Amino acid sequence: DQVLHIVPETFQQVQHLQLLCSTFILDLWKPLLPEDIRAGEDLHIRVPAPLVQEVKDSLDQHMISYRVLIPDVQKLVDQSMPRERSSHRQVSGGYVYTEYHPMEEIYQWMTQIQKNNSELVTQHILGKTFENRTMYYLQISQSSNKTKKIIWMDCGIHAREWISPAFCQWFVKEIVQNYKTDPKISRFLQNLDLYVLPVLNIDGYIYSWEEDRLWRKSRSSYENGTCYGTDLNRNFNSSWGSVGVSFNCSSDVFCGSGSESEPETRAVAQFIKSKKSDILCYLTIHSYGQLILTPYGSTTKPPSNNEELMQVAKEAAAALTGKYGTSYRVGSTALILYSNSGSSRDWAHTIGIPLSYTFELRDTGTHGFVLPANQIQPTCEETM
């Protein structure tokens, strides 16, 4: 449905508009009654979707100019409804993937998804966080007798980037829902295992729900409990501490007391090291920025397989844009974003994982970290 804005110029136009309103029984928003339509005064009419073209044609025929005031009435209605009643829900077995979930619910979700899809998904312990919470990853693996290569994806290394864990959950849902019917996915799974860590920085994520929505780091304590948090994405052993970091605990890019000083970093690093000969691709999901970043952040010197890295990334960006037109930029962190050292992506590449990428999801600053939940679905669909 659309709402048109018209200012009739002549009495004939007024008459024609009154005729249109009664013939098509159009919904007059302004004025209230057709008899109150006047030349020179604003007219707002809502035209039901199936009649839009016909009405516009009729206006054109009578040389009545109009402007579309509201291109999609339903969209506006949905936006103004409390989210529980929005019609764009994606629910699978009761879990709402188009909403942000606190950590407790994500823990429950992991257990459920394994239970409901035990032939494909298994839950494993990766390690513990500073505040002693268990870090779990999900292994998506179709049983077969050949050893498969691995794709690793972690989300939520930075607490405030809520769209990131939302994407990991969405991703898992998409795979388990469609692996039997979608030929692309089933072919994938014949040759590859997927390892997904839905929330890397659990302590930080919880803190962003309970105390400070814009918190970024972990919650490890320093300086006798007067200062908290390491930027986990500056804590890995890749030129640690050299650039784009701070040694001051109160900074948002505090790189920790040493490389891999944080339990979360060690948990991830240990696991990846143990599997590194089989890991084909390392993905780490962040927001915001709409970027696909390749190594390195600590230097502009390109990695040895830069051409391949860039080509794959460009194809990914093109496929993403194809969905909703969202544009992503592709390139090395040091060139298109900023210099930084100690990032997980750089580290993964230096230990030998050929394809290593950071995804910065929507948006580009309009909402930033506080991306509305109604963008979860389109963001996840295009990233998929």
Partner 1 sequence: DTDDVGHKYYLELELEDVLDTVSQTVNCTAEVLYPLGSKTSAPDVQVTVQGELRSTEEADKEFYNWIRSLEKELVAENIPDSHGNVPPELEPIHLLAWVASGYVIWQNSTENTKFHLAQVKHVKQVKRSDEDLQFDFVLLLHEMVSQEVLPWEVTLLWHPQRGARVSQS
Residues assigned a catalytic role: 360
- Cα–Cα distance, 21 to 34 (Å, whole number): 7
Q: 214 in the Ramachandran plot: left (φ > 0), alpha (ψ -120 to 50) or beta?
A: alpha
Q: Does residue 100 belong to the site contacting partner 1 (CB under 8 A)?
A: yes
* The one-letter amino acid at 172: V
Which region among 149-157, 245-253, 266-274, 350-358 touches partner 1 (by CB under 8 A)?
Answer: 245-253
Q: Among residues 51, 52, 336, 337, which is the contact residue for partner 1, using CB under 8 A?
A: 337
The minimum distance between CB 102 and partner 1, in angstroms, equals 10
Q: Which of 138, 206, 253, 279 binds partner 1 (CB under 8 A)?
A: 253
For partner 1, which stretch binds (CB under 8 A), given 86-94, 106-114, 206-214, 342-350?
206-214
Spatial neighbors of 113 by CB under 8 A, at least 6 apart, are: 121, 138, 172, 173, 176
110 burial level (CB within 10 Å; 0-12, 13-18, 19+): buried
Binding of partner 1 by 105 (CB under 8 A): no
> Of the two residues 42 and 381, which places its CB atom closer to partner 1 in the complex?
42
Q: Which stretch binds partner 1 (CB under 8 A): 168-176, 310-318, 343-351, 373-381?
A: 373-381
Please report whether residue 365 would count as binding partner 1 according to CB under 8 A: yes
Which of 371, 379, 380, 382 touches partner 1 by CB under 8 A? 371
Q: CB-wise, 51 or 373, nearer to partner 1?
A: 373
Please choose, out of 63-71, 111-119, 222-230, 235-243, the segment that lies near partner 1 by the rule CB under 8 A: 63-71
- Residue 315, φ and ψ in degrees, nearest 5: -65, -40
Contacts of 269 (CB under 8 A, 6+ apart): 236, 237, 260, 347
Q: How far is the CB of 253 from partner 1 (least distance, A)?
A: 5
CB of 151 to partner 1, least distance (A): 27
Near partner 1 in 213-232, by CB under 8 A: 213-214, 216, 231
Rounded to whole angstroms, how far apart are CA atoms 266 and 208? Answer: 22
The answer to whether 274 and 284 have CB atoms below 8 angstroms apart is no
Counting residues that bind partner 1 (by CB under 8 A) gives 30
Query: Quick check: 219 and 228 in contact, CB under 8 A?
Result: yes
Minimum separation from the CB atom of position 146 to partner 1 (A): 43
DSSP letters spanning 142-190: ---SS--EEEEEEE-SSTT-THHHHHHHHHHHHHHHHTTT-HHHHHHHH
Contact (CB, 8 A) for 334 and 296 = yes
Helix, strand or coil, per DSSP, at residue 207 = helix
Residues of the shown chain interacting with partner 1 in the complex, contacts defined by CB under 8 A: 67-68, 71, 80, 83, 99-100, 209, 213-214, 216, 231, 244, 251-253, 289, 337-338, 365-375
